[in-house]
Amino acid sequence: MKQTTLKKAVVLEDIGVHSGKPARLTIHPAEANSGHTFLRTNLENGRERLIDARHSAVAATELQTVISDGNGASIATIEHCLSALAGLGIDNALIEIDGPEVPILDGSAARFVEAIDSVGIVTLSKSRKVLKVLKTVRVEMGSAWAELVPASSGFRLDVEIDFENRMIGRQRRVFDMSPAAYRRDIARARTFGFMRDVEKLWKAGFARGASLENTIAVDEERIVNPEGLRFTDEFVRHKLLDAVGDLSLAGATLQGTYRAYMPGHKLNFKMLEALFADRTAYSYSDTATKREPQYEHGRAEVFISASAYAADMS
């Protein structure tokens, strides 16, 4: 398999779900072996900073995944954008953003997928870098757990959730990664949260851009959103969506099976930490070295705007 990138740049604009601050995000094509890299612009004194989308750059995992350069530049809620890129099999992209948090859009990865599909994907000359899981690695957080298990080919996710709230209950879904399946089964699954937690989140500085426009709001006896659910098991599908994005921070296409019970951003991150802590647990099928991404500023081909959206409170 060869590496890929976008044919043209796309632009998406909205507020951040937690910060409530506006941001304009442009996904640029990038050269082979560039990987996924964020370019944070509009910093103090006009500074710009590149931040690799790698697990080693993760700075926080509470209700979102945040990466940082360690010198004051950070980007929050990166998981939905990265999930779309990984789900569509895009190996290389430069993600330019002028605010502190990725636009929330509709709370899923659907708008990212639509924007990318509108310009298309191009195949590059270099071979895809694959990270092969060689032995089972497991992490636990209380009753929650996750493990990466070897597989002869491909990447499978097997995720289960179990909530006391009867509107969610126990759900499990097994997903074999492919662009077609991702578009059909995962991309449209929205984040969700509980009405009882809203005030607590606001006091903690989260969900300042939240509304019913995207989040599935769950009360004790009902789904608050008048349109209802997009899937009967939309909750576990969104957990799969987040896991695809978080695990893409491995920096290469995974070959293995990810099994998890009640995962969240922190557990997904700890899974990567545990994998890379054991050099005997993985190998690469290609030894290509990472290069700085090349891009051109200019008028993007696609523009998508949205109003205020809601928090990843799950």
Which residues are annotated as catalytic?
Answer: 265
Return the HEC string of the chain: CEEEEECCCEEEEEECCCCCCEEEEEEECCCCCCCEEEEECCCHHHCCEEEECCHHHEEECCCCCEEECCCCCEEECCHHHHHHHHHCCCCCEEEEECCCECCCCCCCCHHHHHHHHHHCEEEEEEECCEEEECCCEEEEECCEEEEEECCCCCEEEEEEEECCCCCCCEEEEEEECCHHHHHHHHCCCCCEEEHHHHHHHHHCCCCCCCCCCCCEEECCCCECCCCCCCCCCHHHHHHHHHHHHHHHHHCCEEEEEEEEECCCHHHHHHHHHHHHHCHHHEEECCCCCCCCCCCCCCCCCCEEECCCCCCCCC
